[in-house]
Each structure stands twice: as C-alpha cells, then as structure tokens.
C-alpha cells in the first residue's frame, strides 16, 4: 500500500518562502487519489482539477510549467498571498525576490 499524499498546504509556507513546486508526478498522484482515476499524465482535466483544488485550499497563484527540452509538464509553482517584499507581480511576469 502506498503512502498517503497530502495536497500542498499554503499554511506551511513562510514570508521568506511563499512558494513551493509540485511535480507533475505528484499532481497526477493527487488527482488519482482524489478522483479515483488512473491518469498517467498532466492532462487538461488534471490541470483544471489541480487549479480548482489549489485555490479552494488558499493558494492564490498557480503556474504550470513545461520541461525545457521535452516540453511535457514539469508540474507547477504555487504561491501564497503576497506578503510585502516577497513577490513582485507585473502584468507579464512573476518575479521572486530572493530571501535575505
């Protein structure tokens, strides 16, 4: 029997570390666990479910990423509500400010 996977918790993040990454493999496992499915890849259905689930749990941002060479899903980046100085949002990009 596999170990139980928990969805990333925004409450586990700090002001200095407001983001976390979730691998494509973990996203698929979380989806299959929650939905009783047998997804193998990060499909549109998995992405839509994951984004809705993340928002319902308090994550304010989610960005899906592709692996640079293969262009297949590498997972996503999640971030908590912006705390002053931790993130800079523009109309075209997210800038992560290094923690001190």
Considering only residues 90 and 54, tell me which one the structure prediction assigns the higher pLDDT.
54
Domain ranges (residues) in the chain: 14-96
**Of the candidates 65, 61, 56, 5, the residue with the CA atom closest to the CA atom of residue 30:** 5
Chain segment 27-58, per-residue pLDDT in tens: 999 999 999 989 999 999 999 999 999 999 99
The whole model's pTM is what? 0.78
DSSP 8-state secondary structure symbol assigned to residue 72: S
Q: Is the dihedral of CA 66, 70, 71, 72 positive or negative?
A: negative
Chain segment 57-72, per-residue pLDDT in tens: 999 889 999 999 998 9
Helix 44-56 and helix 24-35, axial crossing angle in degrees, nearest 10 = 80
């Amino acid at each position: 029997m596999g170990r139980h996977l928990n969805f990333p918790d925004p409450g586990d993040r700090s002001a200095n570390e407001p983001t976390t990454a979730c691998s494509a493999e973990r996203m698929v496992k979380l989806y299959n666990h929650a939905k009783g499915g047998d997804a193998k890849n990060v499909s549109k259905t998995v992405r839509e479910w994951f984004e809705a689930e993340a928002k319902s749990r308090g994550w304010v941002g989610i960005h899906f990423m592709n692996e640079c060479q293969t262009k297949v899903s590498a997972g996503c980046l999640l971030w908590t509500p912006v705390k002053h100085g931790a993130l800079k949002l523009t109309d075209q990009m997210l800038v992560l400010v290094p923690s001190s």
